[in-house]
Amino acid sequence: MTDTPSVPPPGERPTAPPPYPSPYPMSPAGGPPPTPPGGPTTTQRSGRSAFAASVVTASLLVGGAAGVAGAAAWNQWGTTASGSTTASSAHATSQVVDTPSQPAANGSVQQVAKEVLPSVVKIDVSGPQEAGSGSGIILSSDGQILTNNHVVAIAGSSGSISVSFNDGTSAKAKILGTDPLTDTAVIQAENVSGLTPATIGKSSDLAVGQGVVAIGSPFGLESTVTSGIVSALNRPVDVGSDSQGNSTVYPAIQTDAAINPGNSGGPLVDLNGHVVGIDASIQTTSSTSTAQGGSIGLGFAIPIDEVMPIVDQMANGQTPTHARLGISVSDVAGNNNTSLAEGAQVRDVTSGSTAAGAGLQVGDVITKVNDQQITSSDSLVATIRSFRPGDKVSVTYVRNGTSHTVQLALDSDASSS
């Protein structure tokens, strides 16, 4: 998941960081801290740009193994100050009852877990200099698995990947395709059959406040189930850029379901057990980018609708393609000749692009794409990425204080890819 921007992107991307960085850095749900040869370390992989949601900053942590400290805490709480255990003077025994357990109700977290767990895997990755773990979603009975790019990127060109299934079996795996711009990847488990594919839902049907369930392997604890609600939709999340400087931004599903390092690549599902997102990142209160953070109820998942066409391309061995306007943008500047405080201001227009054909100019402030309000450069990039090349959209922009709306068909980055 090394990202080293080198040249300006061919399409739209922010050219300046958000002006108001948050004091609360972010951590992706990739896994516990990496373990390089020679001993453990909590140092973050170099090259990954700051992780941001809207105007908050963030950082990615992808990792390996971690310990659990519950037993030590219980021992301390279970003793007196002198070290001896306390006991009641009265003697009591537990009552034994014979009440049969009730079947899980449809739509309950218990029922969702029973249905989805067989379709979720733990992924262990070893590379030349580090190791890490994450989660994955079974797409086919013969072992195609969806995960995050930053989970498998650790392997590089010479590392190894293994997959652990819910039934206790495991298999080696190879990479079929990766897409840094959407932080997705498809891998193939070798010599397997009869797996249980997940049911893919529709993220476009989600509503703020509805219940969701996250499943994965936080801190290496596989088959962990947590639940919560959809806290927000279309939250622009920026996890850096690819080797060509193109921003990795997606319109995330925000949830308070506990997502921790190691959940990355696992599913966020609705209460029908249908996958609506790919758990990918979290915001933490850690004050440094190298500190290991955990859930504070701010988790982010990639909407499944936005990436399934790209997933299909990777599974078929094709190079992923993305929609683009053909412009570079930054957060709206104070001297935009309007009273606008939010928007994406055009900094450059690529000759021959769909934006140039529609008449967009340097200095224009884009405020809306279809019905989606554009509040920042990340917001515009994330929104455009939610479409496919050739889709027709309306773009509203302000020039010299006057609002205009144009219709255009989105370009493809196929040639630049």
pLDDT at 341: 83
pLDDT of residue 20: 35
d(CA 320, CA 324): 13
Q: What is the predicted pLDDT for the residue at 84? A: 38
**Which SS3 state, helix, strand or coil, does residue 323 take?**
strand
Pick the closest to residue 123 from 175, 199, 61, 178 (CA basis): 175
Determine contact, residues 303/251, Cβ cutoff 8 Å.
yes
Task: Give me the residue label for tokens 């310990």.
Answer: 67
With helix as H, strand as E and coil as C, how does 44-75 read? Answer: CCCCCCCCEECCECCCCCCECCCCCCHHHHHH
**Structural domains of the chain in order of their starting residue, each with its CATH number:** 14-64+106-320 (2.40.10.120), 323-412 (2.30.42.10)
Residue 307: name the closest of 372, 371, 255, 249 by CA: 249
Q: What is the pTM of this model?
A: 0.73
- pLDDT of the residue at 21: 38
Q: What is the CA radius of gyration of the chain?
A: 23
Query: What is the total residue count of the chain?
Result: 417
Burial level of 140, CB count in 10 A (0-12/13-18/19+)? middle
- pLDDT for 249 equals 86
Please name the amino acid found at residue 314.
M
Q: With residue 134 as reference, give the H or E element that holds it.
A: strand 131-138
List the one residue out of 311, 347, 301, 342 whose CA is nearest residue 327: 347
Instruction: Give pLDDT, residue 415.
Output: 63
Which residues are designated catalytic?
150, 183, 264
pLDDT at residue number 178: 94
3-state secondary structure (DSSP) of residue 357: helix
Local mean pLDDT, 10-residue blocks, the chain (417 residues): 38 40 44 43 37 33 31 29 43 70 83 96 93 95 96 91 96 95 95 97 96 95 96 88 74 95 96 97 67 78 95 93 93 72 92 95 95 93 93 95 95 74
Write down the number of H helices and E strands in the chain. 6, 23
In b/e form, how buried is each residue of 300-322, taking b as 16+ CB within 10 angstroms?
Answer: bbbbbbbbbebbebbbeeeebbb
Specify which residues 188 forms β-bridges with: 144, 174
User: Which pair of structure tokens corresponds to residue 260?
Assistant: 């921790």
